[in-house]
Every structure is written in structure tokens, then in C-alpha cells.
Structure 1
Amino acid sequence: MMRLVIVRQKYNPAGGAERFVSRALSALSAQGGLEVNLIARKWESLSGVRAFAANPFYLGSVWRDWGFACAARRIWQREGFELVQSHERIAGCDIYRAGDGVHRHWLQLRRRVLSRWGRITLQLNPYHHYVQWMERRMFLHPRLKTVICNSQMVKREIQHYFDLPDERFAVIYNGVDTAAFHPSLREHRDAMRAQWQIPPAAPLLLYVGSGFERKGVARALQAIVPHPEVQLLIVGKDKHAAQYQRLAATLGIASRVRFAGAQNDVKPFYGMADAFILPTLYDPFPNVCVEALACGLPVFTTQQCGAAELIRDGDNGWVADALDGATLRQQLGQWLASRAEWPSLAAAARASTADLTLEQMAGRLLACYRRLL
């Protein structure tokens, strides 16, 4: 039996990367012929998975990541796993799952929205230097056999910065539970709208995610300003949420925006919405976009989002540059003007996830592992 270990430092079940790990672990274990293990600082209960704790003391982010990397490496060397798949930047793994993209590229995009002082602070931050150093060590390490990318966008970035050959890559999109995330969730529409005081017929955009700044909550707020009929519901936790509530008030749209905070179950929120919006500055492949599509919601996102590879403008969503607010507002106008076509948009959105089931994702991962042994 093949012994695989997946390495993920912070195992928060609500996080996008962790949901991928959880789904992959469950689906892979169900396939049989594979012993799945996990190395993490902490984890939730996982059926059929043996977990190893790598939780050394640390102060600060550099020490945190370096300490975990050293502890995780000691464990996988001691246990002698056939394959080591890391979701963290750790040199010496067999497989790296590039769920966070290329840090250097993210920093370049981040500079687009920072002030001069902000760019200086970013440049001087030692953590960013550490991540870039470790990223380079990992990608150029002789043991690295395969990089699993969750989008073609990420593959292109890695090849641009590190010049790895095509045969080192496997592009495997995140899978989604198409039975749980389904257009039938619209059965929650009336009750949820009543609960959140949203008019039954109002066009409702849904945003789901933490990290409001990077993922574009401000841009979503600004986009609905010229469309007075549109309501926006924001699901997710952010320590600066009050700042965005003040922005909504300043823009004169506070009555049309709801901040729902973190939610244990987001499915009823998908069921109450008409479309999904994620005007992110950078996101390799957010699970929320695939979940929304599976629920039959057209998706508004950006060229800097890996999930844009699933979107066909005007068919199952729209794509614009992350900082092109004018185009996003125009696209919302197109959507509103085509209300008679919304059922077709919903059907196309759902159809675009037909090849993205968890079972198909697990099969692709397993085929990737078998090629390496």
C-alpha cells in the first residue's frame, strides 16, 4: 500500500486550502490502495487518516514557518513515507501543491494598490524575504518531482520565475461536492431573504471569504453604487470589517449591504443569491467560485483569479482586471439588463462544474501519485 503524507501547517477546516485537503483526504482514502497521513500543528478529527503533530514553539512568522518546516521534515524522514506532498513551502518534498501561487508575483500585484510608504514597508518585511528564499529552495530542490497547480495561471507564474519544465507539473482544479452545492439550495431563498431583510425580487450579489482587502470587498462595494436595485451580502470574518461598513455608509449604500460575518454553513447563503462576486487582487483558485458555480450562480471575478479559467464572459459569469472598476460596473449592468437570461446563466454555471467532482479530483490526484512511483 502506498504511504502518502500531506503537510499543512495550519489546519483550519473553514479555510479554502484546508477544505481542499479535507476533501482530498476523504476522497483518496475512499479510493483504497493508499494510506493517507497528515502532518500539521493541529487538525480536526479525520476518519481513516493518521495525523502527526509538528507544533514547535515560535515567536513571529519567520520562526513559525521555519520551525514547522524543520519539524515536519524530521517526521517524514523518520516515518519513511513513499510520497511527501507539502502544502507549505518546504524544501525536500516530493510534491508541492501550489495553492498559494508564487509569493514574488503576489508581492508585485500587492504593490499596485499600496502607497509609497506601504511599498517600502512591504520591501523591508523580513517574512516576505524568507518566503521568497524558501520558495526558491523548494522549487529548485532535486527531490521535487511534481508541482500540483490548481490553475494554469499558477503554472505559468512558476514557469516564469523558476523555469521548470512542463513535465514537472500537474494542473488539477479543486473539486467540489456537487451534491451538497447544488441549485436546489434555492429552497432557502425566501426564508434567508426574510431573515436578512432583503426584498424577495431584489438582485442579490453574494461574496464569501476572509481577507477583505485582498479579495476585493471595497471594489465590490464600489461596483454596486450605480446600480440602486442591487443588494450585496458579505459572508466572512475580517478584523477590519467595521472599516468596510463605514465605506458602505460613505458610498451611500449601507441600506443595500449586509455583513453576515463568519458562518459555519454557507450553503443557504448561496441559495438566496442571484450571482457571486469576488473581485480579488490575487487568488490562485478559490473554492468559493467553484461552489458558487455548482450552485448555479454566475461568477464575477478577475483576471488575477485562477477560477477565471472556468468563466466564459456572458455565459456563466464575467471577468475583468482586478483594478478595473469601470468594467466591473459595466458588467453588472449587462447582467441586470439580461434578467430574462438568468436561468440560462444558472444552467451554464452549473454545467461548468460537471468535471470538477470530488471523485474526479481524487482520481486525478491518484493518477498523479501512481506516475511518481
Structure 2
Amino acid sequence: MNTKSSSITILKSTLFRGGGLEKYTRRIIQAFLDKNWKVTVLTTGKIPSDNEMQKGSPNLQIVTHKYLSPCSFLKVLEFDRFCRKYLENHPTDVVFGLDRNSFQTHIRAGNGVHASYLEKRKKSDSFLKRLSYRINPLHQILLHMEKRAFTHPLLQKIFTNSSMVKEEIIQFFQVDPSKIEVVHNAVEWSELQTPFTNWQEGKNLLAKQLQINPSLYQFIFIGHNYQRKGLDRFLEALAGLPRQNYHLTVVGKDKNIQKYKQYTENLGIKNQVTFVGEAKSLPFYQLADCIVIPSYYDPFANVTVEALAMGVYVVSSKTNGGHEILSETGGVVIDSLENLESIRLALETAMKYPKTTESALKIRNSVKDRDFSSQITFFTDACAL
């Protein structure tokens, strides 16, 4: 290892939530600690008393900032200012950003490109909502912040979780392509072995609990913010399929969930769709033949690789970067979200591949090399150069 780069500051405004990006951040921190780096983490909020990560390593320091502002856009500025001030007084050779900050030497752009996100949202948002992009201070701050970050003269390396995001960074900010490395999201492949092995038992149990027919083809949709995730288009396409052949379970929260329930009634598919709200994903992977990810913009939806690791067939939009890892037998890509026929054809293709012991194992093995244990060291090795 290059001893000059044996200390690192990691920037992540939220560290102890249960989200996928927070979990990924904690794994990256642990990977650096395992390589004997001295790690400082700049974050916000209270450090949990049961934080085993910090207890177990003398090389880890977590510095937390308490927000003064209640406004989301001011919090972004506040955290960035906190990080810059800290780094001025405590410089390290590597500054690894996993959030929205104006300066870092290395960035994992897990949130994608905000400018591209707004472009994609135009396809689903109302005229007034699109108009608000220009006056919403949060959007303007994030656009300014990412431009400073991606064009900073001290930036050495950008890690993206899809080629889609890499191309967006090149398109919007003219970044040298050699600065950008694509590292697709990893998954707890080994840890999922037991629930995968027991998927049939889990399927029957959950189907009984939800009072749905397990012999039907089981679609699932997992995600919060249904509009951005494309649930409306999915439901419209689903209504064009023979209703006696499938069931859809929608997992995740949305402030307008009642509107979507009413929409299924308007489409005539109320009895084919079950909304369960926020819930743990694992039992639904056991239930599912297919997960549908019709997102208008997702740098790389974690549910893509999680579903594959559970042997579930994937239908994905092109604007989910996760579609890049789909094998020919493991999934299909929706050609255009604007074209209902395109979505319907993808769903019909999926229904030709009901989950079996053999097909599930083949799909699961297609992402065997994406286990966290084999992927996470990429970051430590790249930062040591």
C-alpha cells in the first residue's frame, strides 16, 4: 500500500439509517479499516450507542455535525460547509465522498447526476412541477454542488455504479473518461443462500398470509415514491394482460398510496393487485417470479441485484442503471416507458419464465461474482494508487 495515502476522510451525511447507500457506506468504511487505513467519517446526527463498528477499531473516528437549519436545501449547504472547514484543519490525502459535496478527491456517485435526473423527471411530472425545477432552491443547490464536485481540479477518481451514469457525467460535465470507473452495485450473495434455498416454503407462507393464489404468476414492485419509480405506467401495461394469469404485490410507501389503489380500480385490476406498504423485501423475493423496475431514473436500483441473487427474473427500464447486469435468461429491458406496448411486451416475455428450482439457481449464479466480499476491495485498491 502507498503509505502516503494511509489516511482517509469519508463524507456521508447520513450513516446510521437502514438504507442501501448507508449500508454500502458502512461496508466501505470497514474495508478501509481492514486494510489498516486511518479512517475519519464526517456525518450528521447522533451516533448510536450500539455502534459496533467504532467500538471495534482504534483507527476509526466519527465526527458528527448537528444541523442548525430545518430546511433540506440549507442542510445540504450546511453539511458541505462543515466538511470543508473540517478538512481545512484536518487534511488527509484521500477525501472520499458518497454524498453531495463540493470537494473530494474520490467520489462514489451513487446518487447519479442530478441534472440528468431532472431531465428524466420531465417525462412524468406535470407542467407546474417542471416549472418548479428552476425556482426550487434544493434543485439549484444540488446542480451547483455536483458541477463543482465533478469539475474540481483536485478530483482524481469518480466511481459510478453504472455505465449509464458514467456517460451522463461525461455528457453534462465533459469529464475525462479515464477518471471514471464503473463499479456495479454489490449484493450479500453468500448471506442470501439460506433464504434462497427456502424460497418455496417462504412463497407459500407469504401467499397464505396475503391470501393470494401462489399458482398465479407473481409480479412484485418494490420502491418508495411510486411516480418516480414508474408504477403508474406499470399498472397501465398490466391492465392489458389476461387478468386470471397473474398477481402483483406492491411493496413500499408513498404519500399518495390511496390514489394508486383507486387507479387499480379504475383500470379494472383491483383484485389482481395487493398493496402492503413498507415491509422487508426478502419474503417478497421468495414469493416473486418477477420483479418489475420501471424507474424513470435510477443510477442502479439495489433491488435489481438483490432480486437476481434470490433467483428472481427482472424487468427493468433502460433508465435503471442496474439493467446493465441482466443476463439473457435473467431479465428483459423495457425499450421505452413512453410506449405501453413496449412495457406490455416485456411483461409477456417475463411470464414465459416462471420461477423454477432450475431457473432460479441459474439466475442467482449470474451474480455470484457480485458478492460484497469480492467487490468492495476495489475502492481500497483504487485509493491506494
TM-score of the superposed pair, with normalisation by structure 1: 0.92
**2:302 partner letter:** N
Query: Counterpart in 2 of 1:240?
Result: 256
| 1:236 Cα offset (Å) | 1.3
How many Å separate the matches in 1 of 2:206 and 2:39?
A: 39
Cα 1:108–1:131 shift into 2, 3 Å? same
Question: Do 2:252 and 2:278's aligned partners in 1 also have CA atoms closer than 8 Å?
Answer: yes
Alignment root-mean-square deviation, CA? 2.0
Cα 1:110–1:12 shift into 2, 3 Å? farther
Question: Do 1:24 and 1:358's aligned partners in 2 also have CA atoms closer than 8 Å?
Answer: no
Cα 1:344–1:157 shift into 2, 3 Å? farther
How many Å separate the matches in 1 of 2:197 and 2:356?
A: 16
How many Å separate the matches in 1 of 2:173 and 2:52?
A: 35
Query: Counterpart in 1 of 2:190?
Result: 179
Q: Deviation string for 1:61-112 (max 9, x for gaps)? A: 2211001110122223333333211122212211111111111111111112
Query: Counterpart in 1 of 2:239?
Result: 225
Query: Counterpart in 2 of 1:361?
Result: 375
How many Å separate the matches in 2 of 1:198 and 1:28?
A: 46
| 1:289 Cα offset (Å) | 0.7
Query: Counterpart in 2 of 1:70?
Result: 81
Query: Counterpart in 1 of 2:338?
Result: 323
2:275 to 259, 268, 277: 259
Cα 1:262–1:25 shift into 2, 3 Å? farther
State the percentage of identical aligned residues: 26
Cα 1:140–1:363 shift into 2, 3 Å? same
The question of 1:111 aligning with 2:115 is answered no
Question: Do 1:317 and 1:345's aligned partners in 2 also have CA atoms closer than 8 Å?
Answer: no
Classify the secondary structure of the residue corresponding to 1:52: strand
Q: Deviation string for 1:279-312 (max 9, x for gaps)? A: 0000001111110000011111111111010124
Question: Do 1:304 and 1:322's aligned partners in 2 also have CA atoms closer than 8 Å?
Answer: no
Query: Counterpart in 2 of 1:13?
Result: 17
List runs of 5+ in structure 2 lacking aligned partners.
55-59
2:311 to 296, 310, 318: 296
Please say which of residues 33-42 and 166-175 is displaced more in the overlay: 33-42
Query: Counterpart in 2 of 1:198?
Result: 212
1:209 to 211, 216, 223: 223
Question: Do 2:97 and 2:107's aligned partners in 1 also have CA atoms closer than 8 Å?
Answer: yes
Cα 1:59–1:163 shift into 2, 3 Å? same
How many Å separate the matches in 2 of 1:306 and 1:57?
A: 35
**1:351 partner letter:** N
Question: Do 1:16 and 1:286's aligned partners in 2 also have CA atoms closer than 8 Å?
Answer: no
Please say which of residues 295-304 and 52-61 is displaced more in the overlay: 52-61
Query: Counterpart in 1 of 2:361?
Result: 347
Query: Counterpart in 2 of 1:52?
Result: 63
Q: Deviation string for 1:234-261 (max 9, x for gaps)? A: 2212222222111122212222212222
1:34 to 34, 37, 45: 37
How many Å separate the matches in 2 of 1:270 and 1:76?
A: 43
For this pair of structures, how many residues does the alignment match?
367
| 1:359 Cα offset (Å) | 1.1
Cα 1:11–1:251 shift into 2, 3 Å? farther
Cα 1:19–1:221 shift into 2, 3 Å? farther
How many Å separate the matches in 1 of 2:327 and 2:347?
A: 15
Query: Counterpart in 2 of 1:150?
Result: 161
Classify the secondary structure of the residue corresponding to 1:36: strand
**1:255 partner letter:** N
Q: Deviation string for 1:31-85 (max 9, x for gaps)? A: 3322333221125535144321122311422211001110122223333333211
Q: Deviation string for 1:125-164 (max 9, x for gaps)? A: 2221221111111111112111110111101100111111
Question: Do 1:172 and 1:365's aligned partners in 2 also have CA atoms closer than 8 Å?
Answer: no
Query: Counterpart in 2 of 1:121?
Result: 132
How many Å separate the matches in 2 of 1:345 and 1:147?
A: 36
Classify the secondary structure of the residue corresponding to 1:214: coil
TM-score of the superposed pair, with normalisation by structure 2: 0.89
**1:72 partner letter:** C
Classify the secondary structure of the residue corresponding to 2:227: helix
